[in-house]
Structure 1
Amino acid sequence: MAETTVTELSESLRQAIAGLEASEGLEQVGIVTRVGDGVAWVHGLRHAGYSEVLEIETKTGVVEAFALNLMEDEIGAVLLGSDQGVAAGDRVKLKGEVLSVPVGEELLGRVVNPLGEPLDGGPAITTTQRGLVEREAIGVMGRKSVHEPLMTGIMSIDAMFPIGRGQRELIIGDRQTGKTAIALDTMINQARQKTGVVNVYVAVGQKLSKIARLVERLKEEGVMDQTIVVATSPSDPASLLYLAPYAGTAMGEYFRDNGGHALMIYDDLTKHAVAYRQMSLLLRRPPGREAFPGDVFYLHSRLLERSAKLSDELGAGSLTALPIIETQAGDISAYIPTNVISITDGQIFMETDLFYQGIRPAISAGLSVSRVGGAAQTKALKSVSGNLKLGLSQFRELASFAQFGSDLDAETKAQIGRGQRLTELLKQPQYQPMSVWEQVVSIVAVSQGYFDTVPATKIKAAQDALLSRLWAEAKEQMRTLNKGDQKFGADEKLTHLIESTAGEIAKEFAE
């Protein structure tokens, strides 16, 4: 009998509450029950949504947080800043909006944090539009296959592992192997070649001194006015490190959605995953492999799927991604590296051994691949670089084999000699990206045998002499070749000019 009474009582209470006419002045309020390590647990606020912004009223002012754990009677919220002023008993209100950041051209040339607040000492940024930090990726019908090249200016990448606009190409390798250098040269090349591509560089937990040097270099090269830098340092809360790539992507999407082209660089997603692991463990989520939470794959897949080449109906804009992953002792079969390799459209693997041998950029020809970039490669480069990757891989095998025996036949010796010249040719100093015509001419001179008489040690000098002479004597033809829209050999006059000049230069540098 008593049980029936309790049931009836709770039912009548529910009906009475449902029938109440709430005044407009009433608002939902929660209470902080406990706080620590950047995470606040809030009782109440049953209608809070995932990633919704909460306002915690502390003694020193309002501190914002966002909801990540939604349970029946409690919310796990991550603070967007320090937790020093937040204490148990503080009132919490719903802001009624999900996380968003300022987007627009006003951000160009600025260094901001993941909330869009300036870090460069410049004036406050006021934009007319905001972009959602978490946004669904464009569907299949809204996309177009990758077909336009994104030139990095690095010969070994543009020739062997070309990147297209809208592609996701992973840069992976141990620390100090030149991963950021590749991303930086790609950004510089966009300004030098006047491609109109906007760069968004996201630094996740990078030293502020490193970010300052990078920004200074971008200013020197005249790239900063078409670049947005989203910076977080190791001393920032894990919440900001977690948000940085998503906030940067929202800023890049603004240009993509308005018919422009943007390049995203995430440096690096290993630190991003570690920050997310820290947050997840503090939110009491069950740990999995390497103590990462179960949804760490989704963490990166939902981020990188936002990079795409849009269909003509949506404005034909593009967002290209160059995520960076740091490996430990070259182990690309670890958890996070394998996750990101399976999400992206190819990877550029940086090898420590090559780096210390002085072969820089230290790109491994065997382990690197571009799955979709071939369709986007310029006709001129495609026509001369077809056998480059195979030739280089074969040379490295032959070179290790040649160490064991001195009796090599003439053909093998010639192949090893050409491989050595090719290796020398692909060495490239930092901050010196090459244009299309320079790459085409250089590859033709070495791979088609015109420089076979030039010793490997003099290849760079011979290359410089060849490029200088062609630019001095045939500037207009080189500009035509630079467009890259016709195969090498289609213009017989131009082909003869390059071949004869290469032959003359080879005689000057011959042994």
Structure 2
Amino acid sequence: MAKEDYRFALRLSERGEVVGIGDGIAWIRGLPSVRLDELIAFGDGSTGLVFQLGRELLGAILLAQKHGVTAGMAVTHAGRNLAIGVGDALLGRVVDPLGNPLDALPPCETAEFRCLDAAAPAIIERDFVSQPLYTGCKIVDTLIPIGKGQRQLIIGDDGLGKSSLALDAVLSQRGRNVLCVVVLIGQPRSAVAGTVEALRRAGALDYTAVVVAEANALPGFRYLAPFAGCALAEHWMRAGRDVLVVYDDLSRHAQSYRELSLLLQRPPGREAFPGDIFYLHSRLLERSTVLLPKFGGGSMTALPIIETRQGELSAYIPTNLISITDGQIYFDARLFAAGMLPAIDIGRSVSRIGGKAQHPAIKTASARIRLDYLQFLELELFARFGTRLDAAVEEKLRRGRQLRVLLKQDRLAPLSELAHLAWLLAYGDGLLDSLSPPAAGDLLPTLFAAVADAGLTLEDARERWLTTLAASLAVAP
């Protein structure tokens, strides 16, 4: 505004006052027209997010503290909602839920901002899940397939390999034109550094953005972290890109929300969680979908991770997330102790819509493997009683033990869809019947190399696949 255009006039504005502060929460009197999820500015330049509206006081989450908020400090409207910078500038970066860099690099230069908490796409904007998303895991890609736009829960006790599976899924997107967002919630700094280093070594940071709220961060930051990651992914989805989002993990997120709610004196419910804990996660995960071409045509696939106690699936938060998501991958402690890695319980794991997106060749080759494996587990339990078994049952047990060895896989070693089809056909057509289970497992790299050298694709005829696999086994030592 030019100097000559300036006019003196009466200006009215609201002003509040800090009444109390502690544990990342500020209690404020005044600001009668303030709204939930609105940003407010403190007198020292700090910012906060309105989280609780009361008759006399309002509660705000402290986000950025400059010099220190104290009682009696003035508070005003910031005039905007909480948003994060989005765009390709975030790829390869490690940021906090507000977009501030945590990797000792300059701030991300973004031209567009997106609100952290936004409405999920309407039903009219959504399309059917029709394209597969490969995680590189034998069990998941063949028996529990995931489609682009699906919400697949990873559930199990602590230390069983849930995060490793999600990390494998991120590494498997290399060269597939799928962007990734990894959200780390409430983890110690050593675990965060290990995850970032694993992504860097595999070259996955080139297409991945990492959002971090460490264990020592304020509860408000841990609460906002998954919404920040979802906002980044939503921008790319609206731009027509395919995105994979990993929330590691939502157990700590729920605990942070419970902590905030109790600090703000909200009435507790079951297990001391507030009554709207179901809505908290549903409004986050419902934003993952496939969009119709006229609404962008992109997709957002969500892999939320949840922790159980002693394998208890009927706990409050696990049951909530199971009902929200499109299936779950269940990790079992007994399988882990027995050395079956990844320790995925095939009987309890399910993918409700991923089968529609699975490639027909893989779907056909794996049609009976799930049932055969579950029957083998029952027969093996029965055979432990020492009863005499006929030849047919002995053959099923032998093939089941071989399948158990074939399903084993090292962490951070994702396989391509061609490798999946190779071992499925070799096992299903009996090409490995003459080998012992350990020998069959040792020959898998030979099969994978033969498929790569022959230039096979999933669309090639089944006969050509079998000829190539048989020839590779014939020359194997």
Normalised by the shorter chain, which TM-score bucket?
A: over 0.9
Task: Please point out which of 92, 102, 118 is paired with 2:85.
Answer: 102
Give 1:55 deviation, angstroms. 0.8
Residue correspondence of structure 1 range 327-366 to structure 2 within 5 A: 327-366=308-347
Q: Which residue of 1 aligns with 2:56?
A: 73
Task: Please point out which of 93, 114, 136 is paired with 1:131.
Answer: 114
Task: Please point out which of 202, 212, 224 is paired with 1:221.
Answer: 202
Task: Please point out which of 463, 467, 470 is paired with 1:497.
Answer: 467
Distance 1:303 1:325 in 2: 14
Distance 2:264 2:435 in 1: 64
Residue correspondence of structure 1 range 399-410 to structure 2 within 5 A: 399-410=380-391
Q: Which residue of 1 aligns with 2:132?
A: 149
SS state at 1:401 partner = helix
Residues 45, 66 of structure 2: 8 Å contact kept: no
Give 1:96 deviation, angstroms. 1.3
Distance 2:229 2:169 in 1: 18
Q: Which residue of 2 aligns with 1:188?
A: 171
* One-letter identity of the residue aligned with 1:134: D
Q: In structure 2, do the counterparts of structure 1 residues 399 and 23 end up closer, same or farther at CA, with 3 Å as the change threshold?
A: farther
Distance 1:72 1:317 in 2: 43
Output one character per residue of 1:360-407: Cα deviation in whole Å (capped at 9) or x when no partner. Answer: 111101000000100110122111011111111111111111101241
Residues 137, 168 of structure 2: 8 Å contact kept: yes
The 10-residue stretch of structure 1 (382-391 or 331-340) with the greater mean CA deviation from structure 2: 382-391
Distance 2:118 2:320 in 1: 21
Distance 2:459 2:319 in 1: 36
**Structure 1 position 385 matched with structure 2 position 355:** no
Residues 451, 502 of structure 1: 8 Å contact kept: no
Q: Which residue of 1 aligns with 2:297?
A: 316
* One-letter identity of the residue aligned with 1:122: L
Give 1:83 deviation, angstroms. 10
Distance 2:360 2:10 in 1: 66
**Structure 1 position 281 matched with structure 2 position 230:** no
Task: Please point out which of 41, 49, 55 is paired with 2:35.
Answer: 49
Give 1:433 deviation, angstroms. 1.0
**Structure 1 position 114 matched with structure 2 position 97:** yes
Q: In structure 2, do the counterparts of structure 1 residues 84 and 175 end up closer, same or farther at CA, with 3 Å as the change threshold?
A: farther
Residues 205, 233 of structure 1: 8 Å contact kept: yes
Distance 1:426 1:44 in 2: 62
Distance 1:407 1:452 in 2: 22
Give 1:24 deviation, angstroms. 5.3
Residues 422, 447 of structure 1: 8 Å contact kept: no
Q: CA RMSD in A?
A: 1.6
**Structure 1 position 27 matched with structure 2 position 13:** yes
Give 1:504 deviation, angstroms. 2.5
Output one character per residue of 1:213-234: Cα deviation in whole Å (capped at 9) or x when no partner. Answer: 1111111111101100001111
Give 1:500 deviation, angstroms. 3.0
Fraction of identical pairs, as percent: 42
Distance 1:410 1:84 in 2: 79
SS state at 1:229 partner = strand
Distance 1:104 1:470 in 2: 38
Give 1:81 deviation, angstroms. 4.5
Q: In structure 2, do the counterparts of structure 1 residues 398 and 24 end up closer, same or farther at CA, with 3 Å as the change threshold?
A: farther
Give 1:98 deviation, angstroms. 1.2
Residues 304, 321 of structure 1: 8 Å contact kept: yes
Residues 290, 298 of structure 2: 8 Å contact kept: yes
TM-score, normalisation: structure 1: 0.89
Q: Which residue of 2 aligns with 1:292?
A: 273
SS state at 1:130 partner = strand
SS state at 1:53 partner = strand
Q: In structure 2, do the counterparts of structure 1 residues 449 and 77 end up closer, same or farther at CA, with 3 Å as the change threshold?
A: same
Any stretches of 5+ residues in structure 1 without a counterpart? Answer: 1-21
SS state at 2:172 partner = helix
**Structure 1 position 140 matched with structure 2 position 123:** yes
Q: Which residue of 1 aligns with 2:24?
A: 38
* One-letter identity of the residue aligned with 1:168: R
Distance 1:24 1:322 in 2: 54
Q: In structure 2, do the counterparts of structure 1 residues 44 and 444 end up closer, same or farther at CA, with 3 Å as the change threshold?
A: same
SS state at 1:239 partner = helix
* One-letter identity of the residue aligned with 1:335: Y
Residues 418, 447 of structure 1: 8 Å contact kept: no
Distance 2:179 2:19 in 1: 45
* One-letter identity of the residue aligned with 2:98: L
Give 1:62 deviation, angstroms. 1.4
SS state at 1:76 partner = strand
Q: Which residue of 2 aligns with 1:179?
A: 162
Q: Which residue of 2 aligns with 1:455?
A: 436
Distance 1:439 1:109 in 2: 29
Residues 445, 502 of structure 1: 8 Å contact kept: no
Output one character per residue of 1:90-112: Cα deviation in whole Å (capped at 9) or x when no partner. Answer: 10001111111111110100000
Residues 348, 368 of structure 1: 8 Å contact kept: yes
Residues 47, 65 of structure 2: 8 Å contact kept: no
SS state at 1:180 partner = helix
SS state at 1:172 partner = strand
Task: Please point out which of 377, 386, 397 is paired with 1:416.
Answer: 397
Q: Which residue of 1 aligns with 2:408?
A: 427
SS state at 1:414 partner = helix
Q: In structure 2, do the counterparts of structure 1 residues 461 and 365 end up closer, same or farther at CA, with 3 Å as the change threshold?
A: same
